[in-house]
Amino acid sequence: MERMRLELLGSRGRAAALVTAVAAGAPLLRRAIRSPAGSPEFRSRTVGLAAWWAGCAAIGGRPRAGGGVLPAAVTGAATAGVFGAGALLTRRIPPLRDQVAAVTAHASKGNLPTVAALTALTGVGEELVFRGPLFDLAEDGPAPVVVSTGVYLAITLATGNPMLAFAAIPVGILAGALRAQTGGVVAPCVFHVTWSLAMLVLLPATHDASPV
């Protein structure tokens, strides 16, 4: 009985530490996203953010790998295609166009291979947390996909960019569904990285064109 009590206290302590660490990642995400495009600050802060997410994931222990690489990649590419089509509409709406431009500036003004590597790194870091130990915590409840997506949305809202917050909803739901289906973090990571890298190409292409 005493051993069970200590294990319960330990698991609750890890859960509290994980939630606190994830919440502390919000201002780090905000600083990284709002760094000047192509600047050393953007690169260092993004690497620091990815390291922070990795540290958060480590609190929960070693994540389960799972599988489903090919379906996850296909889902990521298809999702990017839908987002790309939507971008053709947002470029006609100045407030939304400006919010997208704030994100695409990192690709257009920075070194593309470097930005791509940083994008992939942070995507993996996010999935290791939100579809890793955070998802494990939510599995005790009735809707882990909804809970993990809600936390992901809340953290993304800290960027102050409504387009990133909007994207967090379908990305979180699909990544969560892949985690629930495969039982591990590999599929969500592949999905997120595929989607992110495709958007890195599609968004500047759609928003550089003049609206008709």
Side chain identity at residue 164, one-letter code: L
Instruction: Collect contacts of 6-15 with beta carbons under 8 A, ≥24 apart.
Output: 14/59, 14/60, 15/137
Give tens-digit pLDDT for 47-72: 999 999 999 999 877 788 888 999 99
Give tens-digit pLDDT for 76-92: 999 999 998 888 887 78
Q: Where are the domains of the chain?
A: 2-208
Q: Is residue 173 within 8 Å of 114, Cβ to Cβ? A: no
- What is the pLDDT confidence band of residue 208, given thresholds at 50, 70 and 90? low
In the predicted model, what is the mean pLDDT of residues 113-125? 93
Report the half-sphere exposure of 181 (CA within 13 A, side-chain side). Answer: 14
Say if residue 207's pLDDT is above 80. no
Say if residue 125's pLDDT is above 90. yes
Side chain identity at residue 12, one-letter code: R
- What is the pLDDT confidence band of residue 4, given thresholds at 50, 70 and 90? very low
Which residue reads 């495709």 in tokens?
198
Angle in degrees, 0-180, between the axes of helices 162-182 and 186-208, rounded to the nearest 10 = 150
**pLDDT reported for residue 11:** 66
Q: Is residue 155 within 8 Å of 33, Cβ to Cβ? A: no
**pLDDT reported for residue 179:** 95
At CA 61, angle to CA 60 and CA 65, rounded to 5? 105
Give tens-digit pLDDT for 139-186: 776 689 999 999 999 999 988 888 889 999 999 999 999 999 999 999
d(CA 93, CA 193): 28
Q: Is residue 46 within 8 Å of 29, Cβ to Cβ? A: no
- Secondary structure of residue 89 in the 3-state scheme: helix
Side chain identity at residue 137, one-letter code: L
DSSP tag of 211: P
What are the tokens at 93? 């709406």
